[in-house]
Structure 1
Amino acid sequence: MNFEAISAVGAALNVRAKSELDSQLIYRELKSGIMDGSYAAGSRLPTERALAEHFDAARNSVRKTLNLLEDEGLIVRHVGRGTFVRSAPAQDEFTLAELLEARLLFEPNLPDLVVERITPELIAEMEEALERVRDAESWDQFKEAKYALHMAIARGSRNRFIISIFEQIIASRRRAGWGRPGQQLSPVLVVRESAYRDNLVILDALRAGDADKAREAIRDYLLRMLSNVSSN
């Protein structure tokens, strides 16, 4: 690779890193303003252009942040009218520990269906999501990669009710903001390694068609997560 090519790659990486940092900053500032009432319920947010100028960021970074806030139920966007703070931001009435307890009741049994119905395409999707878990450089990337992995496993069941449950679980976690920047005690570079190892055991078992091993791995993984949450 010549010098010009190396310089181009370096520049692209710098742009990507700045975009990620900008998105995290904009997310924190806007969500904080919504939650503390600085942006009142029903009020209109500044335009994408105004936000980009205020934060000295690219408009695609602003757009990415607004998409995330919309997914969390904090804002609503109307074409031609603008972006508004929801009158009653969605709030979950259960804790992460309660969610993990519920997942322990049914999720370890999921491999019984998955090993019988999984496809090579879904295995490839799981592998790609797991690589994203391993390579995540921010909490947003880490969480979204884990969500993608969980959804791929759920789709492997070919059961629409189970898939719907996982969609609701992920939507609730996004709304509640669990795992957002500032809420974690450990750096993402540390946590991603253990998460990668734990989920690799699950994926290897599913690839091998070993429902018993996958069941045990999922149960152990959820128990560790519950223990960590309960001890904090």
Structure 2
Amino acid sequence: MQTVEQSLRALLAEGAQDGRFGPGSKLPTERALVEQLAAPRSAIRRALETLERDGVVIRHVGRGTFLTEAAVQQVDGAPADTSPAEIMQVRLLLEPGVAALAARVATQADLDRIGECLAGGGASEDFEGFESWDARLHRAIAKAAHNGLLMNMFDVLNTARALPVWGTLKRRTSSPERRRCYHEEHTAIVEALCDRDPEAAAAGMRRHLEHVSDNLLGRH
């Protein structure tokens, strides 16, 4: 049986993989962690103290508990020196094909989950909220392909998106206008998935990622 500390570490690792937690992300409150992990508050506090000593989190009185850059680098997956250009090269190779496969084999439950992520991103008014839903949307599409090996590859890719260099660049190049544009592109991808159109799903994903790459890396 996992200890509370192990359960909390697993929660953070999963969050780093699916995009909920990156460097500087605020953790749920102690009360929320009590509910999520079904553990006493005293055990949650002890686990957080241990994680703070290990450099995984940093706590600010009155502000909350935040994930450190070191925590993300401890997650198995992409090398810590992976560049944004490398990340985008792999995404462009992998994700259009993933979208095409998902269009063929996604269940209605998969499409419902993808739709929830799309709606969450559309309702997000700040950078952190949109980025979190963006990562969840892309991961939900990958899960809808129902291929375990492919999912493992995608999760390695997603750990790269949690590296500090990626987050810093995304924040610097983000704007409300770009987020609205990305949401429109996401909408086109999801519509193609719901239409069971592999070619349109792949093409939509490729256009979206090329646009992201242009904005991040300054290519035209």
User: What is aligned with 1:132?
Assistant: 120
* CA pair 106-182 structure 1, distance change in 2 beyond 3 A: closer
Give yes or no for the alignment of 1:165 onto 2:153: yes
* CA pair 185-229 structure 1, distance change in 2 beyond 3 A: closer
* CA pair 183-107 structure 1, distance change in 2 beyond 3 A: closer
Give yes or no for the alignment of 1:112 onto 2:100: yes
1:207-222 equivalent positions in 2, closer than 5 A:
207-222=194-209
Note the C-alpha offset of 1:91: 5.7
Contact 2:189 2:204 in 1 (8 A): yes
Identity of aligned residues (%): 21
* CA pair 213-178 structure 1, distance change in 2 beyond 3 A: same
User: What is aligned with 2:187?
Assistant: 200
2:167 is paired with a residue whose SS is coil
Structure 2 gaps of 5+ residues are 1-22, 26-51
Contact 1:115 1:211 in 2 (8 A): yes
Note the C-alpha offset of 1:112: 3.4
Note the C-alpha offset of 1:192: 2.0
Cα shift readout 1:20-78 (whole Å, capped 9, x = no counterpart): xxxxxx938xxxxxxxxxxxxxx9379x9x9443xx32xxx32xx23x75751369xxx
User: What is aligned with 2:136?
Assistant: 148
Note the C-alpha offset of 1:110: 2.0
User: What is aligned with 2:86?
Assistant: 98
TM (norm. structure 1) is 0.62
Note the C-alpha offset of 1:213: 0.9
Cα distance in 2 between the residues matched to 1:217 and 1:182 = 21
Specify which structure has the bigger relative contact order, considering alpha-carbon pairs within 8 angstroms and separated by 6 or more residues: 2
Moved over 6 A (4+): none
RMSD: 3.2
* CA pair 182-173 structure 1, distance change in 2 beyond 3 A: closer
* CA pair 140-181 structure 1, distance change in 2 beyond 3 A: farther
Contact 1:133 1:145 in 2 (8 A): yes
Alignment match of 1:27 (pick from 24, 36, 52): 24
| Structure of larger gyration radius | 1
TM (norm. structure 2) is 0.65
* CA pair 134-152 structure 1, distance change in 2 beyond 3 A: same
Cα distance in 1 between the residues matched to 2:170 and 2:111 = 33
Note the C-alpha offset of 1:96: 1.2
Structure 1 gaps of 5+ residues are 1-25, 29-42, 76-89
User: What is aligned with 2:53?
Assistant: 44
